[in-house]
């Protein structure tokens, strides 16, 4: 396993734990509580920021360790990593399409969508983007085997 793959596994683990934690809050409290419960909103905001910080910290620490160990990133690694944004783009597009279809179908008769879903769409787009930075790296390495 290359250092880039190890880094991708760490990123994937952070992304999955982060997603599950956010999903758990919305399941336990209920999505509609987001509008009324200031405590829940604060928890969700903090969790979102904590996830981003944890991911950035992981990138910084693993990058520092790779530089210290003199890990080389050669032309094949760069070629593999160049494919990752494609996976990220498709993952985000499918996520947004999923939200658009689901919200349109569920709230079609009401003619309006609760505000909480704008936040959930934003959270999910960012999380999917980050998760697929890691998952995309693993997929690209797997396909290059």
Partner 1 sequence: MGKGEVTNRIRRLRFDHGEMTQQDLAVKVGCTRQTIIALEQGKYVPSVTLAFQIARAFGVTVEDVFQYEEKEPGTTP
Q: Which residues bind partner 1 (CB under 8 A)?
A: 2, 72, 74-77, 144-145
Buried b (16+ CB within 10 A) or exposed e, 43-63: ebeebbeebeebbeebeeebe
- Closest of 53, 50, 54, 45 to residue 25, by C-alpha: 45
Nearer to partner 1, 75 or 105 (CB): 75
Nearer to partner 1, 2 or 43 (CB): 2
What angle separates helix 84-106 from helix 116-143, to the nearest 10 degrees?
Answer: 150
Write down the least CB distance from residue 5 to partner 1, Å. Answer: 9
Write down the least CB distance from residue 10 to partner 1, Å. Answer: 19
Write down the least CB distance from residue 77 to partner 1, Å. Answer: 7
What angle separates helix 38-68 from helix 116-143, to the nearest 10 degrees?
Answer: 20
Nearer to partner 1, 7 or 44 (CB): 7
Nearer to partner 1, 65 or 76 (CB): 76
Q: Which two tokens stand for residue 75?
A: 């032309």
Nearer to partner 1, 74 or 110 (CB): 74
Write down the least CB distance from residue 73 to partner 1, Å. Answer: 8
Write down the least CB distance from residue 70 to partner 1, Å. Answer: 10
Angstrom distance (rounded) from CA 74 to CA 77: 5
Angstrom distance (rounded) from CA 127 to CA 56: 13
């Amino acid at each position: 396993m290359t250092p880039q793959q190890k880094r991708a596994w760490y990123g994937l683990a952070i992304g999955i734990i982060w997603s599950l934690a956010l999903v758990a809050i919305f399941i336990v409290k209920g999505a509609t509580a987001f509008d009324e419960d200031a405590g829940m909103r604060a928890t969700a905001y903090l969790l979102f920021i904590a996830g981003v910080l944890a991911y950035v910290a992981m990138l910084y620490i693993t990058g520092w360790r790779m530089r210290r160990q003199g890990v080389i990133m050669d032309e094949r690694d760069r070629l593999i990593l160049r494919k990752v944004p494609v996976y990220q783009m498709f993952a985000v597009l499918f996520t947004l399409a999923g939200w658009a279809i689901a919200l349109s179908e569920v709230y079609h008769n009401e003619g309006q969508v609760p505000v909480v879903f704008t936040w959930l769409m934003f959270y999910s787009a960012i999380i999917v983007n980050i998760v697929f930075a890691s998952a995309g790296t693993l997929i690209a390495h797997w396909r290059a085997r």
